[in-house]
């Protein structure tokens, strides 16, 4: 039984294609088919056999053929969103669009860079205080999992404010950096509908992912690092100001009342930062120490996500001048600023 939201979306020529992913943290991913003069799809699903089978099966039920797709719009370069783009391109004349800050994640350029990118992450992970065996795990498992299945030869760049004509009217690109540097949403202003990718998801969860700058050096990999949570919070404020009736996320069910969700996210971040400050009042610490202390039972990819989240909170606290980061003996230590003691 389809939800009433999905039924009303069908009247606008918008259909959900929900596919499985190989990532246990997010078991399914949403792609959104939009009818119109040029058949358009927002996101694709993972390059993963069960996802492609589900995609083909659900697509056939829309009455369209994959060969008819003319545009693939990617909200961001993660493999559960861009993974099937190449499979679609091979069977159609579709053009693929992505924000330039995420383009390298999905193109052949990224393959050449993979080795050198890892070297910088390895150095950075050591600075965060990660032990050698966990760094090796990251190399073998987690980092490799971020590689998209099939890389694209050509993509076209999306910019904030670009528009596309679809059956339901004007579709606007809205840059929402944070979850990734090139994360975008797509807005149908005539209908108050936002395709939010991973920028807004129906459940509260740590969202921005740790990411080094594209041109960071091996010696100083933190130079130009994307401050994901600082940027994400700014993007949340921007989406908070929008009048929306319905949000169509990259995972899970459609939802209304995005402002309530954003308020909950802000409270969630503030609570976590309060806990970080409390821990730092006891003693200075590395990112790894703090992740272990605040999330003691997490291992493997869950531990990595905790570390990633911790980096985000520390960058926010540093931007607010509540803490200071120093480099000592090849590790970053975080210390609470004097004026905050006892507050």
Residues in binding contact with Zn ion, number by CB under 5 A: 4
Which range in 50-58, 246-254, 284-292, 317-325 contacts Zn ion by CB under 5 A? 246-254
Nearer to Zn ion, 198 or 309 (CB): 198
Among 43, 162, 198, 309, contact with Zn ion (rule: CB under 5 A) = 198
Q: How far is the CB of 29 from Zn ion (least distance, A)?
A: 6
Rounded to whole angstroms, the Cα distance separating 328 from 340 reads 22
Among 5, 15, 71, 78, contact with Zn ion (rule: CB under 5 A) = 78
Report whether 99 contacts 183 (CB < 8 A): yes
Does 102 contact Zn ion by CB under 5 A?
no
* β-pair type (40-42, 71-73): parallel
Residue-wise DSSP of 51-111: HHHHHHHHHHHTT--GGG--EEE-SSS-HHHHTTHHHHHHTS--EEEEEHHHHTTTBHHHH
The string over 197-234, giving b where at least 16 C-beta atoms fall within 10 Å of a residue's C-beta and e elsewhere, is bbbbbeeeebbbbbbbeeebeeeebbeebbbbbbbbbe
Q: What are phi and psi of 169, to 5 degrees?
A: 120, -145
Rounded to whole angstroms, the Cα distance separating 108 from 170 reads 31
Which range in 77-85, 131-139, 282-290, 314-322 contacts Zn ion by CB under 5 A? 77-85
Letters for 247-276 (x = contact with Zn ion by CB under 5 A, - = none) are ---x--------------------------
Which range in 36-44, 72-80, 91-99, 288-296 contacts Zn ion by CB under 5 A? 72-80
Q: How far is the CB of 156 from Zn ion (least distance, A)?
A: 20
Among 80, 122, 289, 309, contact with Zn ion (rule: CB under 5 A) = 80
Contacting positions for Zn ion (CB under 5 A): 78, 80, 198, 250
């Amino acid at each position: 039984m389809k939800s009433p939201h999905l039924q009303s979306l069908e009247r606008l020529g918008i259909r959900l294609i929900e596919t499985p992913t190989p990532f246990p943290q997010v078991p399914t991913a949403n792609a959104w088919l939009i009818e119109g003069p040029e058949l358009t799809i927002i996101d694709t699903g993972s390059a993963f056999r069960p996802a492609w089978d589900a995609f083909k099966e659900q697509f056939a039920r829309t009455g369209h053929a994959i060969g008819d797709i003319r545009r693939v719009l990617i909200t961001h370069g993660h493999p559960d969103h861009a993974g099937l783009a190449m499979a679609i391109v091979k069977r159609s004349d579709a053009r693929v669009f992505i924000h330039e800050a995420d383009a390298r994640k999905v193109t052949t350029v990224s393959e050449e860079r993979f080795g050198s990118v890892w070297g910088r992450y390895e150095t950075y992970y050591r600075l965060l205080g990660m032990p050698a065996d966990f760094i090796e795990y990251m190399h073998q498992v987690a980092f490799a999992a971020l590689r998209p299945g099939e890389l694209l030869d050509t993509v076209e760049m999306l910019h904030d404010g670009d528009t596309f004509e679809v059956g339901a009217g004007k579709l606007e690109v809205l840059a929402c950096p944070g979850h990734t540097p090139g994360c975008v949403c797509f807005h149908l202003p005539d209908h108050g509908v936002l395709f939010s990718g991973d920028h807004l998801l129906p459940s509260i969860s740590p969202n921005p992912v740790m990411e080094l700058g594209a041109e960071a050096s091996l010696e100083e990999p933190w130079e130009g690092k994307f401050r994901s949570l600082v940027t994400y919070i700014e993007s949340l404020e921007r989406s908070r100001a929008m009048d929306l009736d319905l949000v169509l996320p990259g995972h899970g069910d459609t939802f209304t009342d995005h402002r309530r969700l954003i308020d909950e996210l802000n409270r969630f971040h503030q609570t976590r930062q309060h806990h970080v400050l409390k821990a730092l009042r006891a003693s200075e610490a590395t990112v790894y120490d703090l992740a272990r202390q605040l999330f003691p039972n997490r291992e493997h990819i869950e531990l990595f996500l905790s570390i990633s989240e911790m980096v985000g909170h520390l960058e926010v606290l540093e931007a607010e001048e509540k803490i200071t980061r120093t480099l000592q003996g090849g590790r970053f230590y975080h210390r609470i600023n004097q004026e905050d003691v006892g507050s």
